[in-house]
Amino acid sequence: MNIGARPSEELLRALHASAADIGRSIAFMEVCGTHTTSAFRCGLHSVMPKNVRLISGPGCPVCVTAQADIDELIDLGSRREITLCTYGDMLRVPGKHGSLEKARGDGANIEVVYSSLDAVRMAQTHPDRQVVFAAVGFETTAPATAAAICAAQELGLDNFTVLASHKLILPAMRALLSAADRPMIDGFLCPGHVSVIIGSDAYRCIVEEFNTPCVIGGFEPGLLLSSLLCLTEMIAAGRVALVNQYPQAVRPTGNAHAQALLQKVFETGNAHWRGLGLIPQSGLFLRQGYARFNAAQRFSLKPVEDREPAGCICGRIISGLALPPECKLFGRACTPVQPIGPCMVSSEGTCAAWFKYGPHRAESHGVAPAQQLQEVLP
Amino acid sequence: MCLAVPAKLITHNGLEGVVDLHGNRLPVNIMLTPDAQPGDWLLIHAGFAIEKLDPKQAGETWALLRDVAQAAANSPAGSEADASAHSSTGKGDRR
């Protein structure tokens, strides 16, 4: 198959040749759940040069959501007077008292929606119900929430609110690079669809302040290879730059309409992230003018304790500090059928991808997992 | 969650449009791409068009996806790699 001008085989050969020139181990971090899944699905890790690793960062919105926010959402969704509308990703995430899926089984009114506007329509057609939209996601998803709030305002709905825990990717990347226990990051594979909204220029601060290369990449195997080759060649040449390898969708300044909508409805504030703690100015919160659409205020939600499930290391995994097989729950107590941590629930979670495609699968073929791990991740 | 998929705009009435996605007609809101016209390739996320795509690039992406699907179909059946390749054409393009 051909990706642009270069076939994948050629890209792979070039990647190995470039990595051999570096003479040390390097690690690139992707901060996008779709990159995580795509890399595992196409077997990219198994064909990487021995000295190049691709690690997963805080790129899965479900996984980075603090446990306290998840518990709050499940508690709210369990109330009988509320119809909770959510994207499907959140349905099975476990909280202190079960999941939204369990609450629905117990009789709670929980609806999976394709679009935030479906939740607005639900409020419009069920004026006797309080409809709450569970708004989770990065910059890609947040404009849809802002649009729903504006639509509800235009319609004069007083039975529609949003429980928002939207997050911004750049503050998380900065936090990772500034952390005392900073993971090894020689470059970032930046998220394609977040970049559609914020634009490629947004990453200049990472390149310039932290001297760390950034490549915005697409998702198909050849595009992933091409991005990793670009990063590896930069390291080999001692060059630090920002490269946009997804120009068909990502403009330098992003989508101005989406940015204006976000600016109109949200303001930034400090937000709690799983594993990364409180990150300054990393969350989107409703502006005062839209306070009546804030579910936390409407239903007088009280802050709940942020405590991760016992033994779960999802926080370290999304910080790039641990791999799923290092978790004693992985594949034993925590599986996709009975997940304990969010990284195993979400289809874009690192643990789910490892479980489905990772080297531990070799166990069934009589190969020691540790040996396989070393082969794939030197 | 940040999946987005390229689809062609068929028609629109104000901000409400209809796209063709693999032969399926889906509703889409185009408030984030207000200058979109029928025939444009759009990147769709959670019911919203989040960007207009370069038509040549979009066409190349779909051609690539067809190639991968064909390669998967022609490969010896039963291997995990085949299943993965096929999967990446079915769901993997939805990003």
Chain B touched by A217 (CB under 8 Å): no
Summarised one tens digit per residue, pLDDT across range B16-42 is 999 998 899 999 999 999 999 999 999
Per the CB < 8 Å rule, is B53 touching A43?
no
Nearest CA to A148 out of A271, A286, A256 is that of A286
pLDDT at B11: 97
How far apart, in Å, are the Cα atoms of B50 and each of A134, A152, A195, B32, B88? 20, 20, 11, 6, 22
pLDDT tier at A10 (50, 70, 90 boundaries)? Answer: confident
pLDDT at A276: 86
Report residue A23 as tokens.
């003479």
Summarised one tens digit per residue, pLDDT across range A277-322 is 899 999 999 999 999 999 999 999 887 777 788 899 998 998 899 9
pLDDT tier at A362 (50, 70, 90 boundaries)? Answer: very low
Compute the Cα dihedral for A308, A311, A317, A321 and give only its sign: positive
- Out of A118, A249, A357, the one facing B51 most closely (by C-beta) is A249
pLDDT at A364: 41
- Domains of chain B plus CATH, in order, are 5-94 (2.30.30.140)
Query: So what's the ipTM on this one?
Result: 0.87
pLDDT(B91) > 50:
no
- Round to whole Å and give the CA distance between B54 and A117: 27
- Domains of chain A plus CATH, in order, are 2-59+182-188+199-240 (3.40.50.11750), 60-181+189-198+241-361 (3.40.50.11740)
- Round to whole Å and give the CA distance between A155 and A150: 9
Helix axes A221-237, A33-41, angle to 10 degrees: 100
Nearest CA to A216 out of A186, A239, A241 is that of A241
Chain B touched by A34 (CB under 8 Å): yes
- Round to whole Å and give the CA distance between A85 and B87: 28
pLDDT tier at A259 (50, 70, 90 boundaries)? Answer: very high
- Round to whole Å and give the CA distance between B49 and B43: 5
Which residue stretches of A78-203 are H helix?
100-105, 116-125, 142-155, 169-178, 192-198
pLDDT tier at B64 (50, 70, 90 boundaries)? Answer: low
Nearest-neighbour CA in chain A from B76: distance (Å): 17
Chain A touched by B4 (CB under 8 Å): yes
| β-bridge mates for residue A164, sequence order | A135
Chain A touched by B34 (CB under 8 Å): yes
pLDDT at A306: 76
Nearest-CA residue of chain B relative to A147?
Answer: B31
pLDDT(A345) > 90:
no
Beta strands A2-3 and A6-7: pairing type?
A: antiparallel
Rounded to two decimals, the pTM is 0.86
Q: How many CB atoms lie within 10 A of CB A153?
A: 15
Tell me the chain B residues in contact with residue A220 when contact means C-beta distances shorter than 8 Å: 61, 64-65, 68, 88, 92-93
Nearest-CA residue of chain A relative to B5?
Answer: A193
pLDDT at B55: 73
pLDDT at B68: 52
- Out of A1, A147, A220, the one facing B92 most closely (by C-beta) is A220
Nearest-neighbour CA in chain A from B59: distance (Å): 11
- Out of B43, B60, B85, the one facing A249 most closely (by C-beta) is B43
Tell me the chain A residues in contact with residue B92 when contact means C-beta distances shorter than 8 Å: 38, 41-42, 219-220
Share of chain A above pLDDT 70, in %: 93
- Averaged pLDDT, A144-171: 97
pLDDT at B83: 29
Show which of residues 326-345 on chain A sit within 8 Å of chain B, judged by CB atoms.
none
Counts of helices then strands in chain A (DSSP H, E): 17, 13
pLDDT(A377) > 60:
no
Mutant choice from A87, A89, A257 vs B, greatest count of B C-beta within 10 A: A257
- Averaged pLDDT, A196-214: 97
pLDDT tier at A183 (50, 70, 90 boundaries)? Answer: confident
Chain A touched by B58 (CB under 8 Å): yes
pLDDT(A57) > 70:
yes
Show which of residues 71-130 on chain A sit within 8 Å of chain B, judged by CB atoms.
87, 89, 114-118
pLDDT at A185: 94
pLDDT(B70) > 70:
no
Q: How many CB atoms lie within 10 A of CB A244?
A: 20
Nearest-neighbour CA in chain A from B17: distance (Å): 14
- Out of B1, B43, B61, the one facing A33 most closely (by C-beta) is B1
- Round to whole Å and give the CA distance between A123 and A164: 17
Chain A touched by B61 (CB under 8 Å): yes
- Averaged pLDDT, A64-72: 88
Mutant choice from B24, B29, B50, B53 vs A, greatest count of A C-beta within 10 A: B50
pLDDT at B26: 94
Show which of residues 156-195 on chain A sit within 8 Å of chain B, judged by CB atoms.
191-194
Summarised one tens digit per residue, pLDDT across range B71-83 is 555 544 333 333 2
Nearest-neighbour CA in chain B from A42: distance (Å): 6
DSSP per position, A188-257: EEE-HHHHHHH-GGGGHHHHHHH---EEE--SSHHHHHHHHHHHHHHHHHT---EEES-TTT--TT--HH
- Out of B3, B67, B84, the one facing A41 most closely (by C-beta) is B84
Nearest CA to A108 out of A73, A133, A84 is that of A84
Position with higher pLDDT, A225 vs A97:
A225
Chain B touched by A255 (CB under 8 Å): yes
pLDDT tier at A15 (50, 70, 90 boundaries)? Answer: very high
pLDDT tier at A148 (50, 70, 90 boundaries)? Answer: very high
Summarised one tens digit per residue, pLDDT across range A87-142 is 998 888 888 888 899 999 999 999 999 999 999 999 999 999 999 999 999 999 99
Tell me the chain B residues in contact with residue A140 when contact means C-beta distances shorter than 8 Å: 1-2, 4, 45, 50
pLDDT(A367) > 60:
no
Most confident of A299-303, B84-88, B90-94: A299-303
